[in-house]
A and B are shown apart, each in its own frame.
Chain A
Amino acid sequence: MMRAAVLAAALLFAGAAAPLWGLDLDVHGQLKDPVLQARFEELTKQLRCLVCQNESIADSNAPLAEDLRREVREMLSAGKSDTEILDFMTARYGEFVRFKTPLEGKTLMIWGSPFLLLGLGALVIFRVTRARARMPFDDEPAPGP
C-alpha cells in the first residue's frame, strides 16, 4: 500500500516536471510557423549533441546543444532546406553528428554487417542440422535377434 502511494507520487511528480524541462530547453522560443517548428523538432532529433554523445541536440541542455538549436532555428527561418542544414552540421562535426547514418560506400559495412551476420548464422545452422540428420539414431534399441 505504502509502496503504491510512493510510486503514484513519483509518477505525479515526473508528469508535472516533464513539461517544465521541455520549456526550459526551448529558451529561444518556438518558431512562429508550425511547419518550420515541426521540421525543427524533427531535425534536432536527428543531430547528435557532441558533448553528451548519446543525446540528440533536441534532448540536451548542454550549452553547445542550445547554440546548435539556435543555428538550426536561424537556418530554417532563412529558408534553408533540411539537406542544407544537415550538410552544414556534417561539414563542421563530421558524419558522427548524424544519428541516421546515410547509406554510402564507406558506411556499407555498418548497414551490411547485420545481414552478413544473419547469413553466417543461417549457414552455421544449416550445416549443423544437416550433420545431425546424417547421424545414426543411437538411442533407438538395437534390432533384436
Chain B
Amino acid sequence: MWKFLVPMGVFLALIVLFALGLNPNRDIRALPSPLLGKPAPAFQLSDVLDPARNVSNASFQGQIYVFNAWGTWCVPCREEQETLLAIAKQGVVPIIGLNFNDDRTRAQRWLRELGNPYTAVAFDPDERVAIDWGVYGAPETFLVDQHGRVIYKYISPLTLEVWQTEFLPRIQAARRSGGA
C-alpha cells in the first residue's frame, strides 16, 4: 500500500508545485507590496505642470484615490495612458500621478500630447517619494482608501479589465465600509 501511496503523493506534490511555479499568468517580477494595509507614505512635491503649486496626499485626506507612478522614459506607460484617460472620464476617484526620475519639460510635453488623466501630477526627479512607496518600475498603481491606507497595488500597465475586476470592487467595498 505505502509503496504505491508515497510515490503518488510525491508526484502530486510536484504537480501542485509546478502548477504554481510555472503558471504563465504569474508575473515573476511582480512583488507583493509590504505597504498593503499600511498608511500611505506622505509626500509633498511640486506639480509637474505648475512648479509653484504643491501636490500633497494630505489634501486628499478622507478620499479614496488612485496613485499612479510613471515616467516619460517608460514605454508601457504610453500604452497605459489611454486606459487612464478612460478611467478619469468615469470620474469614480481622483488619480494622482507621480512622475519620477524624469525631466519636467518632457513630462509636460507628454501630458500635452497624450492627454492628462490626473487630478494632480507630482514631480519627483530624484525618486525619493517613489522609493518611499517602494516603486521599482513603472507603471505602478496604488489604491488608497479614505483612511489613508494602501489597499491595493498593481504592477504593469493598467487595463480596463483590471480596473473593473481589481479596482472598482475594492473602491465599492471601501465605500460600503463607511466614510466618504
A109: CB under 8 A from chain B?
no
Q: Closest A residue to B134 by CB, please name it.
A: A92
Q: Chain A contacts of B101 at CB under 8 A?
A: 63, 67
A contact patch SS: helix
Interface residue stretch chosen among B30-38, B91-99, B110-118, B170-178: B30-38
Q: Mark B115-129, 1 if CB is under 8 A from A, else 0.
A: 000000000001110
The reply to whether A63 and B31 form a contact with Cβ atoms under 8 Å apart is no
Q: Chain B contacts of A68 at CB under 8 A?
A: 131
CA distance A102 to B34 in the complex (A): 16
Q: Closest B residue to A93 by CB, please name it.
A: B134
| Count, A-B residue pairs, CB within 8 A | 37
Interface residues of A in 89-134 (CB under 8 A from B): 90-96
CA distance A104 to B171 in the complex (A): 35
* Contacts A51-B137, A71-B131 given; does A90 touch B29 at CB 8 Å: no
B132: CB under 8 A from chain A?
yes
Interface residues on chain A, number (Cβ under 8 Å):
16
Q: Chain B contacts of A67 at CB under 8 A?
A: 101, 126-128, 131
* Contacts A53-B29, A63-B101 given; does A94 touch B134 at CB 8 Å: yes
Q: Chain B contacts of A96 at CB under 8 A?
A: 31
Instruction: Identify which of B29, B127, B136 gathers the most chain A CB atoms within 10 Å of its CB.
Output: B136
CB distance from A13 to the nearest CB of B (A): 31
Chosen A-B contacts, 7 in total, with CB atoms closer than 8 Å, are A50-B31, A50-B137, A64-B136, A92-B34, A93-B31, A94-B33, A94-B134
A-B contact sample (16 more), CB < 8 A, given A67-B128, A92-B34, A92-B35: A50-B136, A51-B137, A53-B29, A67-B101, A70-B126, A71-B131, A90-B34, A91-B34, A92-B131, A92-B132, A92-B134, A93-B136, A94-B32, A94-B33, A94-B134, A96-B31
